[in-house]
Structure 1
Amino acid sequence: MAGSDDVVAEKGGERASDVIKTVMVVIAMQAEALPLVETLQLVEDEQATIFPKGAPWKKYSGDLDALNVHVVIPGKDKSLGVDSVGTVPASLLTYAAGVALQPDLIINAGTAGGFQAKGANIGDVYIATEFANHDRRIPIPVFDKYGVGTMEAIPAGKLIKDLKLKEGKLSTGNSLDMTLQDEEHIKANDATVKDMEGAALAYVADLLAIPLISLKAVTDIVDGNKPTVEEFLENMSMAASALSRTVPLVLKYVSGKSVADLSS
């Protein structure tokens, strides 16, 4: 069995032993991102020349301790004016920004549904230990495993312990609600939280050989009594505030360290 150092090397390549100097934070929704942008006093790059012309994507940049920090978001849908949520916009943004900025670490920060059966509460912030999909159902041998796409997160046991973060497996799908089939697959994934982009970003980060940390604040209890949409909207602001407190703690923690330092 590979040790934690071997897993880090596989996930981050040569970057694992390098001191973290540049961090790219990917956030799906503007309401999730702006409290953090304000907390970190980041400045919007209105030209955003690193992005394709016409893309609605946004980038906010600044410094924190010894870190160069960039927050990138997919922006608003051109036709409907709502946040460009889901796996496709997040993947495209992460790939383009990752190639252009060459960060030493990617952080995916956002909101998620949590399962009370796994101990999740509204406002909890989780760090993902594993990623999987629950809505890519391909019932053909081998393709079925590809559809789920299970990936381990980089080992970050020391970071989790020192910052007293909760940890759990993350399951990703492109719907806010949960069908019975989704529920079956989420249970099979042994997930504590579910979101709409995490596993896709893990795939892109692995493709680019850039280490990824995923932080998710719980907005709704999926297996609770309240309707998901109602609870999500009710708790969005509070969850965004939780992220604006937690992400800076993680950034300060990783500053001056290597990815390998996060595990031991």
Structure 2
Amino acid sequence: MKICYIVAMEAEAKPFVEKFGVEKVESAFGKLPCQLYQHRLSEKDSLHIVVNGQQHGSSLIGCEAASITTLKAIETIQPDIVINSGTCGAFKKNGAEIGKVYIGNGVMFHDRRVMGDDKWYTQSIGNYRLSKLSEEIAAALNMPMGKVTTGSSLDIQPCDLEIMAQHGGELKDMEGAAVAFVCSLLDIPCLLVKSVTDLIDGGENTLDEFLRNLAHASEELSKANVRIVEHLINK
């Protein structure tokens, strides 16, 4: 099985990269900044971790970078499954805790307010299908599940919260739906793994809380990903 991880930030990927001892492939995507790390797990299994890369000295985040990275990764690697691994915000009222890792059971955009008929609205919010392995992995590894909603901003507005509430959104990120969108176009199974850095209803400044908890959440994310990879190759 070719397992391809899409990760936005180097800080999110670093613990996972170090645990597997993957090797960096130089200039794998030409002039694009995304970076490829890969490792042969067995005669028939391989792990590929693709990170968005940097521009202007900082990690590229958000939907545009995630879409480009996912498209080039699929074209180059031709994986059997794409896994978007990253951090997220979540709700304390739903039992979320800093560093808690979830498997996505749905994904959509929460900040696309497109007026029009049902077809335009359906396209704008997404609600992309995720891999049928999602529930199996969550059950086998005793991991909680939650619906991921994606937006282009770190903060969140009241209108975004309304859309999340209407559609059962529990985990807020900036990449998941973009990755799932590309996978849906190319018919590639997609799995989402999200670790909580900030509590949307916790009353703290989002950026301060995110930065304070990024290292811890990324470490917990790495531990979960090791278990997920082991489960996939031992199926």
Moved over 3 A (4+): none
Greater displacement, 245-254 / 59-68 = 59-68
**What is the correspondence of 1:215-226 to structure 2 with a 5 Å cutoff?**
215-226=193-204
- State the alpha-carbon separation in 1 of the partners of residues 168 and 93 from structure 2: 11
Q: Please state how far the C-alpha of 1:121 moved relative to its aligned partner.
A: 1.1
**1:122 aligned to 2:98?**
yes
2: CA distance, partners of 1:129 / 1:250: 15
TM-score computed with the length of structure 2 as normaliser: 0.95
C-alpha deviation, 1:256, in angstroms: 4.3
CA distance in 2, matches of 1:63, 1:118: 39
Deviations along 1:202-233, one digit per CA (max 9) or x if unpaired, are 11111111111100000000111211111100
Q: Hey, what does 1:186 align to over in structure 2?
A: 164
Gaps of 5+ in 1: 1-20, 258-264
Shift of 1:163: 0.3
d(CA) in 1 for partners of 2:130 and 2:88? 17
Give the alignment of 1:1-264 within 5 angstroms: 21-48=1-28, 51=29, 53-65=30-42, 66-77=44-55, 80-142=56-118, 143-155=120-132, 156-257=134-235
State, as a whole percentage, how many aligned pairs show the same letter: 35
Amino acid at match of 1:24: C
Q: CA deviation at 1:175?
A: 0.3
CA distance in 2, matches of 1:224, 1:185: 19
Whichever residue aligns with residue 73 of structure 1, its letter is V
Cα pair 2:129 2:184 within 8 Å, conserved: no
Cα-to-partner distance string for 1:16-52 (whole Å, 9 max, x where unaligned): xxxxx1100000001001111000100111231xx1x
Counterpart secondary structure, 1:120: coil
The aligned counterpart of 1:8 is none
Deviation at 1:81, TM superposition (A): 1.4
- Listed as ranges, the gaps of 5+ residues in structure 2 are none
What is the TM-score of this pair, normalised by structure 1? 0.85
What per-residue deviation string (whole Å, max 9, x for no partner) do you get for residues 162-210 of structure 1? 1011101000001000011111111122111000010111111111111
CA distance in 2, matches of 1:140, 1:175: 24
- Is 1:64–1:252's contact at 8 Å kept on the other side of the alignment? no
The one-letter amino acid paired with 1:43 is: E
Task: Return the alpha-carbon distance in structure 2 between the equivalents of residues 89 and 157 of structure 1.
Answer: 28
For residue 102 of structure 2, give the secondary structure of its aligned residue in structure 1. Answer: strand
Distance in 1 separating the partners of 2:37 and 2:68: 17
Q: How many residues align?
A: 232
